[in-house]
Amino acid sequence: MTYSLTQKTNKPPAVAPYAFMAEEDRCAPRHKVAIPAKMRFSGSSSFASEIANISLAGFACDALLQAHPGTRCWLTLPGLAPLEAEVIHRSNTGLGCAFRDMLNPAVLDRYIASYPPRDSVPA
């Protein structure tokens, strides 16, 4: 296991924030999905989004609204209360976020089974 991010921030591994460690170490396998969801940034209204991949530690979504890394957000998945997360990175295609608390493995398995990824090429 490497701690390249912690070396860049000059923080010992035990002190680095969970959100950054989750993104840097990719501590949990990511699963491609197509989950309709709602997101809300701190101080704003919720908006529709689609989760493209998810893991125990975080998710990537197609949010058209952009937010800076460090922005607090809440993700509402079908059937769950809002989950607090933090924006870790952004790109032209969406956002990558880390959950404040890891997702329950049984919940993750349910979403992977219920929301398979969309086909990239129409049939």
Provide the β-strand partners of residue 41: 73
Position 109 scores a pLDDT of 96
Q: What is the 8-class DSSP label of residue 120? A: S
- Per domain, the residue ranges of the chain are 29-114
- DSSP code at position 21: H
User: What's the pLDDT at 17?
Assistant: 54
pLDDT tens, position by position, 29-57: 899 999 999 999 988 899 999 999 999 99
Q: What's this model's pTM, rounded to 2 decimal places?
A: 0.74
CATH class of 29-114: mainly beta
Predicted confidence at residue 122, as pLDDT, reads: 52
pLDDT tens for the chain, 123 residues: list them.
343 444 444 544 444 454 455 445 556 889 999 999 999 998 889 999 999 999 999 999 987 777 889 999 999 999 999 999 999 998 888 899 999 999 999 999 999 999 999 875 454
| Residue 76 CB neighbour total at 10 angstroms | 15
Of residues 32, 8, 1, the one with CA closest to residue 115: 32
DSSP letters along 26-93, please?
A: T-S--EEEEEEEEEEETTS-EEEEEEEEE-SSEEEE--SS---TT-EEEEE-TTS--EEEEEEEEETT
pLDDT at position 115 is 97
